[in-house]
């Protein structure tokens, strides 16, 4: 599959790289690293995302190139960290019209929708996969530099929870070890993505944590972000990232659920984090979502109390209680 990918890159005149909607550090880190590597390789490349790049991700070098130019068609389209094709949003049409379609990912629910599928289901991050992809390219023509390494390390740190999630393996640490040999500030990346929190985000977290609810002998913990919470703290759904981990870290909690009320009426974004004993992806698949065993998400429409009850039932069913 690496050989097929390299051949496709060599033959392509115009290449599009696509991150998923509501981007995180992994989709941006892997896509921006590939974008830079392809530029160094001498290719004409463009990068897209059908969402704004949130402030916390603007430290990633090259983020300003997202959606900078529109192309009518491309020879090669590459989806980065998109568990399913629909997560490309409005850029799915561009992807489908490309002569060659590539799917680079790590989600176990990915069905392999590309002509070329480079998927390592269950590894810590797509950046872990992308490291090997770019190294394969680098073997043909030098295209792996300090910036590529920094971008990949950023995605690796964010999607592995600072190397704490169960998906982290010896391969994860080996790749991280190779990346930190390059010239960038690894500790500053960890500080930014794992520790630094804006004051309004702290106020939002304090508000929702104080209202956390627990069910089934405290095995299920739930927090809710409302539009009123965002208004009163001067925040948005972008500021919710990471808050769920505090609930999951509580001793005895096996499933943590975060429900975020979206601006659209009766529409909610749901994130789930679980212990190794419970499969988060199986819970979210009930609602058309997906992800990883211990971290997954979905969107649900309906009245809040109904959404909450349906989620609790799905959690209990998966837990067998």
Q: Give the CA distances from residue 149 to residues 37, 113, 183, 225, 246, in Å, rounded to whole numbers and listed in that order.
A: 10, 28, 8, 35, 29
pLDDT at 262: 93
156: nearest Cα among 191, 196, 126, 134: 126
Model confidence at 187, pLDDT cuts 50, 70, 90, reads very high
CA angle 73, 108, 59 (to 5 degrees): 60
pLDDT at 293: 87
| CA 311 – CA 284 distance, rounded (Å) | 9
83: nearest Cα among 51, 107, 119: 107
Q: Give the CA distances from residue 29 to residues 70, 120, 225, 239, 256, in Å, rounded to whole numbers and listed in that order.
A: 21, 17, 27, 19, 26
Q: Give the CA distances from residue 204 to residues 100, 240, 299, in Å, rounded to whole numbers and listed in that order.
A: 44, 8, 21
pLDDT at 179: 98
| CA 34 – CA 86 distance, rounded (Å) | 21
Average pLDDT rounded to a whole number, residues 67-81: 93
For the chain, what percent of residues have pLDDT higher than 90?
Answer: 88
Question: Which of 76-90, 264-278, 303-317 has the least mean pLDDT?
Answer: 264-278
- What are the DSSP calls for 164-196, one per residue? TSTT--HHHHHHHHHHTTSSS-HHHHHIIIII-
Read off the pLDDT of residues 266-298 as tens digits, 9 standing for 90 and up.
Answer: 899 999 999 988 999 999 999 998 888 888 999
Q: Give the CA distances from residue 203 to residues 233, 235, 239, 240, in Å, rounded to whole numbers and listed in that order.
A: 6, 9, 10, 11
Tell me: pLDDT of 264 over 80.
no
Average pLDDT rounded to a whole number, residues 307-313: 97
Our separate counts of H helices and E strands in the chain read 12, 11
Model confidence at 263, pLDDT cuts 50, 70, 90, reads confident
Q: What does the DSSP 8-state code read for residue 45?
A: E
pLDDT at 105: 97
**Phi first, then psi: what are they for 282, rounded to 5°?**
-70, -35
| CA 159 – CA 86 distance, rounded (Å) | 21
For the chain, what percent of residues have pLDDT higher than 70?
Answer: 100
pLDDT at 265: 79
Going along the chain from its start, the domains and CATH numbers come out as 2-195 (3.90.1640.10), 199-319 (3.10.310.30)
| CA 172 – CA 123 distance, rounded (Å) | 8
Where residue 102 falls (left for φ over 0; alpha for ψ -120 to 50; beta otherwise) is: beta
Structure tokens belonging to residue 161: 């929870």
Structure tokens belonging to residue 321: 């209680």
**Mean pLDDT of all residues in the chain?**
95
127: nearest Cα among 79, 175, 186: 175
Can you say whether the dihedral through the CA atoms of 37, 39, 41, 43 is positive or negative?
Answer: positive
């Amino acid at each position: 599959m690496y050989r097929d990918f390299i051949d496709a890159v060599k033959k392509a005149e115009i290449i599009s790289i696509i991150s998923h909607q509501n981007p995180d550090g992994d989709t941006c880190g892997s896509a921006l690293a590939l974008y830079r590597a392809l530029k160094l390789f001498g290719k004409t490349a463009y990068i897209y995302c059908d969402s704004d790049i949130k402030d916390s991700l603007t430290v990633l070098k090259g983020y300003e190139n997202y959606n900078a130019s529109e192309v009518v068609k491309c020879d090669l389209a590459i989806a980065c960290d998109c568990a399913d094709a629909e997560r490309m949003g409005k850029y799915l049409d561009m992807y489908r019209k490309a002569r060659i379609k590539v799917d680079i990912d790590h989600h176990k629910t990915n069905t392999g929708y590309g002509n070329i599928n480079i998927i390592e289901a269950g590894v810590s991050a797509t950046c872990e996969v992308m490291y090997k992809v770019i190294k394969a390219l680098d073997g043909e023509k030098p295209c792996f530099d300090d910036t590529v390494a920094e971008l990949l390390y950023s995605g690796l740190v964010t999607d592995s929870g600072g190397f704490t999630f169960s998906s982290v393996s010896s391969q994860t640490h080996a790749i991280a070890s190779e990346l930190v040999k390059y010239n960038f500030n690894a500790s500053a990346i960890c500080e930014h993505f794992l520790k630094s929190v804006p004051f309004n985000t702290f106020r939002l977290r304090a508000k929702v944590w104080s209202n956390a609810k627990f069910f089934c002998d405290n095995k299920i913990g739930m927090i809710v972000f409302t539009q009123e919470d965002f208004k009163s703290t001067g925040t948005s759904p972008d500021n919710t990232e990471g808050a769920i981990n505090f609930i999951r870290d509580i001793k005895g909690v096996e499933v943590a659920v975060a429900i975020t009320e979206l601006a659209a009426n009766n529409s909610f974004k749901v994130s789930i984090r679980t212990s190794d004993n419970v499969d988060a992806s199986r819970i979210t698949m009930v609602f058309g979502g997906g992800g990883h065993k211990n971290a997954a998400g979905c969107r649900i429409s309906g009245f809040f109390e109904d959404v909450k009850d349906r989620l609790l039932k799905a959690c209990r069913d998966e837990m067998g209680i």
